[in-house]
Amino acid sequence: MRLERLDPWRVRIPRHGGMRVDGIVYAGPELMAEIERDPCLEQVANVAHLPGIVGASLAMPDIHWGYGFPIGGVAAMDAEEGVISPGGVGYDINCGVRLLRSTLTADEVRPRLRELVAQLFRNVPTGVGAGRRDLRLGRRDLERVLARGAAWAVGRGMGEPDDLLHIEEGGCLATADPEAVSARACERGGPQLGTLGSGNHFCEVQEVEEVFDEKAAAAFGLARGQVTVMLHSGSRGLGHQVCSDFLKRMLDAARRYGIALPDRQLCCAPIRSEEGREYLGAMAAAANFAFANRQVMTHWVRESFAAVFGLPPARLGLGVVYDVCHNIAKFERFTVAGRERRLCVHRKGATRAYPPGHPQTPEAYREAGQPVIIPGDMGRYSYVLAGTERAFADTFGSSCHGAGRRLSRHRAKAAARGRDLVGELAARGVVVMADGMGTVAEEMPEAYKDVAEVVEVVEGAGISCRVARLRPLGVIKG
C-alpha cells in the first residue's frame, strides 16, 4: 500500500481501486512505523469503499485492528445517500469514559487508598457476568432505560439533574427504539446495569498530576493535586447482542442493495432503508443503556467515597466533568466544501472533540471547548484534552480515545507469565484489585502504546489541546 506523508502528523493513503475517498492516518513517524505492522491500514482503505462516505476515511493515532472498521476509525456518511455499518460502531455500543472530580486531595486520600479501592470493588460489580442483586430490571423498566438513558437513573435517585448537563447528548439519544432491541439482548443486559464488565474496562482513582492549560482546567473544575475518578464501560451484553443481531441482517441487506464490500465485516445498509433505520434505533437504545450504566456506577462511586470518608456525597464534590462516547454513530452537521451537510458520523474508538462556542459544548465549557477524556494505562497516566475548531473542520469533530493496544491479549498474557503485576504496580504507588489476574495480565501497561505519544500527535495536528494529566492511584478491573 502506497503511503504519502502530508506533514509531521498525517499520512495519506491515496485513493486507489474501489476507494471513493483517500484515507488519512494521524501519526508521527515513530507511531506510523508501528501502525504499518498492523493490518489496520488495510481497514482504513476498505472503509473508504463504502457508499456515501464524505471527506476521507480517518484514523486516529491510537488505531489498531478491529472488526471491519479499525479501532480508532472515523467515517462520515451522507445522511441521504450513505450507509450505516455496525462494524463502524463495534460490539460494545457506546463504550465510553466518564470523569468525576472531587474536593479531595491526593494527600487526603492516600492514607485510606486501599480501603477506598476495596470499597469500590465491593460496590461496583466487575467481571463478565457481574451484577448487583439490588438492581434487577423487569422488561418495562429496561424499556425505560433504553428510551431515557442516564435520565432514568437520575429519576431513580442515582444522580443529580446537573449530571445530565455534562454528558454527551445529555445522556440520551432521542432516536432510540426499544422495540428494535431483541428479547435476547434484553435478557443479556437486564442484570448488568451498573457494572464494569471485563477486558479494558475499569474504575480508576486518580490524581491531577499536571495542568497544561490553567484557564481550561479551571473551567473543567480541575486543579493540581486533586483526586478524580475515571469510569470506562459500555452497554455490556445488551450492546454486544444488538451488534450480533444486526450483523446477520446487514450481510443480507448489503447483497440485496447491491453494495460491493471489500470485507464482509463492513456489511451495511443504506441509512434510509428499513434495516438501516432499525439498526440506528436499536443502536441508540443500547447507547442509552450505556449512559445509564455509567450513571448508576457514578452513584455507587459516590456511595463508596461517602462510606470511607464519613461524609455525604455533596461534601465530597464528586461532580461529573464529562462523559464521552467512544463507539457510536450519530447525525451531526458539518460544512463540507462550503456547504452545510447532515452526516452520520461513525466513531469507533474515537472521541467527539467539539470546539469552543459550539452549541453542543456544555455552557460551562463554552469558552474552553468540549472536554476530551483520554485514558492511558493503569501504570502511567491519562489525559484531559479540549476540542478545537481544527478538529471540527478536519476530522468531523473527532479525536483519539486512548493509548491503543500494542500487544494482543494473548501476547500480553504470555509476556506477563511469572510476573507479580499487582506487586509491580504497588511499587509504583498504584493499588489494583481485579476479578481475575488474567485481566490484569491482558491489561498490563506494556500492552498499550504510551498515551503521551498519542496525545502529542492530536495536539500537534491541532485537533485537541492538552488540559491536564492524571496519574493512577487505585484501579478496579473485571
pTM reported for the whole predicted model: 0.96
Average pLDDT, consecutive stretches of 10 residues, N- to C-terminus, the chain (478 residues): 96 97 97 94 98 98 96 97 98 98 97 97 80 74 96 96 96 97 94 90 97 98 98 96 96 96 97 98 98 97 96 91 98 94 98 96 94 95 98 98 89 89 92 88 90 97 98 93
> Residue 263, class by beta-carbon neighbours within 10 Å (0-12 exposed, 13-18 middle, 19+ buried)?
middle
Q: List, as one string, the DSSP characters of 433-446.
A: EES-HHHHHHT-GG
Position 59 scores a pLDDT of 98
Distance CA 253, CA 264 (A): 12
Q: Where are the beta strands (DSSP E) in 375-437?
A: 382-386, 398-399, 431-434
Position 133 scores a pLDDT of 61
List 84's β-bridge partners, or say none: 269
Q: Which residues are catalytic?
A: 401
Q: Which domain holds residue 71?
A: 4-477
* H or E element at residue 321: strand 319-325
Q: Are 130 and 192 in contact (CB under 8 A)?
A: yes
Position 435 scores a pLDDT of 82
Task: Say if strands 431-434 and 226-233 run parallel, antiparallel, or are unpaired.
Answer: unpaired
One-letter identity of residue 69: F
Position 478 scores a pLDDT of 77
Distance CA 329, CA 284 (A): 9
Position 325 scores a pLDDT of 97
> What cell numbers appear for 464 in the block?
485537541
Q: Are 275 and 98 in contact (CB under 8 A)?
A: no
Residues 6 or more apart from 339 whose CB is under 8 A from it?
none
Position 372 scores a pLDDT of 98
Position 125 scores a pLDDT of 85
Distance CA 474, CA 157 (A): 27
Q: Looking at residue 236, which CATH number applies to its domain?
A: 3.90.1860.10
Position 131 scores a pLDDT of 61
> What cell numbers appear for 463 in the block?
485537533
Distance CA 147, CA 296 (A): 16
Taking Cα atoms as reference points, which of 98, 97, 89, 167 lies closest to residue 327? 89
∠ CA 289-295-300, nearest 5°, is 125
How many structural domains are present in the chain? Answer: 1
